[in-house]
Structure formats: C-alpha cells, structure tokens
Structure 1
C-alpha cells in the first residue's frame, strides 16, 4: 500500500477526492451550486471560443489558447468521470463521447483541422445535459421553457455545424465562399429558405448539401413554432400507461383515466 502525506494511502486520497467532486457536481448545497455555476460559465466561454475560432485561427496566440482550452476541457472531463456514480455508465453517454471528440480536435488541431467546426456540438451537449438544468434551469426543468431552450440550442448548433461543412468543403472553389463569414451567410439564407442566389454551391454535393440545409431549416422552425405556440402542458409520467404530458389542471390521465397527483409548485 502506498502511503502519502499525512499517512493516507493513494487509494484513500482518490476515494476522498471522488466524494468531494461528487458533492460539488451533484450536491445541492450553496457551495456546490456556486461551483457548478462557475463550471457553466467556463463552458459558455469555451463555446464562445469555438464560435470565434475560425476568425482567430491565423492569430499568433491561437494555438496557445487552443491548448489551454484543451487542458481545461480535459480537467473537466476527468473531474466528471471521478464524480460519476458509475463511471462505466457515464462513459457510454453520447454527450460524453461528443466532449471527448471535441477534446481530440483541440489536442490535434493540425491533423483534425477539417473537423474542428464540430467543436460547436458543445452547445448541444451543454443545453441537453442534466448538469445544466439541475443548476441553472431547476425552476424551468421539465417545462415548455426547457423544450424551447433545447430546440434553440439544436438550431444554433446546426447553423454552425452546417457552416463548417460549407466552409471546409467549398472554400476557394469558385462558389463565392471566400471566408467563414460567407459560409455562415449562405447557411443562414438557405436555412431560412431566403436564397438570394448570390452564393450557390457547385456540383452534386453542393446541391445535396443545400437541400439538406433547407429541409432541416423547415424542420427546426416547425419544431420551434410548436414549442412556442402549443398550449402549455406539464410533464408528469402516468404510473399506469406512462403518458408524459398532461394539462396543468389534470386530475385524471386522459389516456387511461388513472388518478394523477401532479405536484403544484405554487
């Protein structure tokens, strides 16, 4: 057994660290909430860097900032792994795999240059994580507000991922894409089906990508409109049939008639 410091074994120190991190990442004390708010603030700063990265790529300090961001993300992932109740279940979550991929693009920016735009998937992982809603959005968890925010996060993520595809695929190929801003402009005009026609993507791949962006835009805006204008319902799983959405004043499940006991926050 390896002894360290004040007589604690290495295994004991790791166990104590895991307990401490579990409290900070999953606890509900004021200290834990402040810690998670700070982590979310760092996440938002990282997302801002990922969005601005195409404009900053040629600056002298870009690689330094890139590796600093990689270090921060690696520390955060390691801490989350230690804080997880079951690491084997945590590592299988899709959100975790997205974060690991983002970390790889930061560690190897020269080799994974053409995939760096996928870093903005971090927007989706943040706003679809229980970590965010248990901390910042507890008041709005399982409400229509949460659904609207998740939909907007998906829309913003799609815009920047599609922009990355357009930029890396058609930069300098005579399509009118001279820079990242041109790719963003084309994506937004296609997504909203405005289509001014001043930038068009050449070839079959360009047509397929343009169609995919336009169809996806219709889907995202339809979902957003549904979230905004659909009559508000509460999320409460019926113990008999499993129906999840009910009217706010529902007494019985409209599907099976089971008596409900929906909590009222007021």
Structure 2
C-alpha cells in the first residue's frame, strides 16, 4: 500500500486526473459512464464483424485503411484500459491483454501475418473474459444468464476461428466469398458431427483438422448445455474466498463457510 501511494504521489497531476477519468468511464455506473461503455461495446462488435469477414476483404482497395483505423482504435482502447487499471503490472499479465497485443500486431502488419489473421476473432473471447460486456446484464438483474452467454460466445469464437483457419489453409486461392461460406459450412457440419461429406478437407492435415474440430466442438456444446440446464446461481463474490456463484438462498459460502449477505434482487 505504501508503494502504491508513493507511485500515485510521483504521477503528474494531469496524468493522475486522466487515470481517474478513465477509471470512472470504464468501471463507473453513472449515465455518462454507461453510455461510454455501450459505445465501446458497439465499436468492439463492429470490429469483430470486420474480423469475421476480413479474410474475404483482404484484397479490397479499402482494406488497409480499415485495418489501420481498427489498429488505432485497439491501441487507444488498450492504452486507456491500462491507465484505468489500478495496478498496471497485474493488468499486463492477464491473458486477454496478450491476446489484444497479438491482434494489434497482426493489424499493424496485415500482410506479414496474413496467415494468422483469422486469430483476430479471439478479440470476442478477450472481450467476454474481461467482463466488460456482461455488466449491462448484471445491472438489469440478468446475471444468471452470464454463464450461458459466455458459453455461446466461446462456441461462436471457436466456430469462426476454425472457419478462418480452414479458409486460409484450404479454400483461399481464388475462392472468394463462396470459399469462405464453404469453410463455414464445413466447420458447422464438423462441429455438430453431422458429417454430410459433400465438402471434405484433403490430405492428412485435413483429417487432423476435422478431428480436432469435432473434439473441441463437442466439448463446447456440452459446456453450453450445462450452463443452460444446470440449477441457476447468483453472482455474489464471497468476501473471504472470492467464490463467485452461489445458490439464491445460500446463507454460507460452500467453499469456505463464510456467512453471506446476498441481496434479494440478486
């Protein structure tokens, strides 16, 4: 605590005010903060939509302009989140931050990392894990749907990551948008184990891709089913052990036995 106060004392007044303002915008509950958070979420979803179709748009004349614009937005957002964090070193160690930095590198060098561009869709996973996108649900008393929505996000992320990989590796040459649809069709048919067989990937690597897709896809489907059909829980962090999910009528934490005070509206 002494070191943290010392660091704050060393910061210039302008930088400290900027960090406080960003912290209020990213983590606050005022009308201005909620509007700012909603705007960031909408921009993120638009960026993710671009990432989904970017393998097809790569040869377009405006691709680089859009690519570098998104890179500027992502760099500004990452820097702002770092400044809004109370502990920058701990924030920088989070896997979601590493994912965002990797995505930023692929945006700054789009042709150098062309074969890894499909991994940009991991931004959706990063956004999901940060908790930023789920706060509107919590504020409306719909926090019990967070696990199901997160499972859906994980499944959608996986589908489009695999689709991008399949398109880049097997359908890219002269295929265009039709090739991307074929890659998506193959991915969905494989994940659901439907296996129509009208589109197959050639060679040993194609078979290995199909095997990995089926194994991980089935696991994500099971996770989604569990999150929907298991008994509902409420999100109320235990002050002793930080366990997040509890039964709505829980009096004591199942993990540590600490007495809970779960609000009725939770």
The aligned residue for residue 106 of structure 1 is 107
1:1-266 pair list within 5 angstroms: 11-134=12-135, 136-139=136-139, 143-171=143-171, 179-236=179-236, 245-251=245-251, 260-265=260-265
In structure 2, the CA distance between the partners of 1:38 and 1:236, relative to structure 1 (3 Å rule), is: closer
Give the number of aligned pairs.
253
Distance 1:265 1:215 in 2: 39
Structure 1 residue 248: Cα displacement: 2.1
In structure 2, the CA distance between the partners of 1:240 and 1:57, relative to structure 1 (3 Å rule), is: closer
| Alpha carbons 2:144, 2:235 under 8 Å: kept | no
Structure 1 residue 60: Cα displacement: 1.0
Q: Which runs of 5+ in 2 are unaligned?
A: 1-10
| Alpha carbons 1:50, 1:120 under 8 Å: kept | yes
In structure 2, the CA distance between the partners of 1:200 and 1:96, relative to structure 1 (3 Å rule), is: same
Q: Which runs of 5+ in 1 are unaligned?
A: 1-9
CA displacement 1:148-191 (0-9 Å, x = unmatched): 11000000000011112212222369xxx972221111111000
In structure 2, the CA distance between the partners of 1:23 and 1:255, relative to structure 1 (3 Å rule), is: closer
Structure 1 residue 144: Cα displacement: 3.1
Structure 1 residue 44: Cα displacement: 1.0
Distance 2:203 2:15 in 1: 56
| TM-score, scaled to structure 1 | 0.85
CA displacement 1:45-74 (0-9 Å, x = unmatched): 111111121222222111111111111111
In structure 2, the CA distance between the partners of 1:142 and 1:244, relative to structure 1 (3 Å rule), is: farther
Question: Which has the larger displacement, 112-121 or 77-86?
Answer: 77-86
In structure 2, the CA distance between the partners of 1:58 and 1:243, relative to structure 1 (3 Å rule), is: closer
Distance 2:246 2:229 in 1: 16
Question: Which has the larger displacement, 22-31 or 60-69?
Answer: 22-31
| TM-score, scaled to structure 2 | 0.85
Distance 1:100 1:48 in 2: 19
Distance 1:253 1:16 in 2: 39
Distance 2:12 2:196 in 1: 63
CA displacement 1:52-98 (0-9 Å, x = unmatched): 21222222111111111111111111111111111111111111111
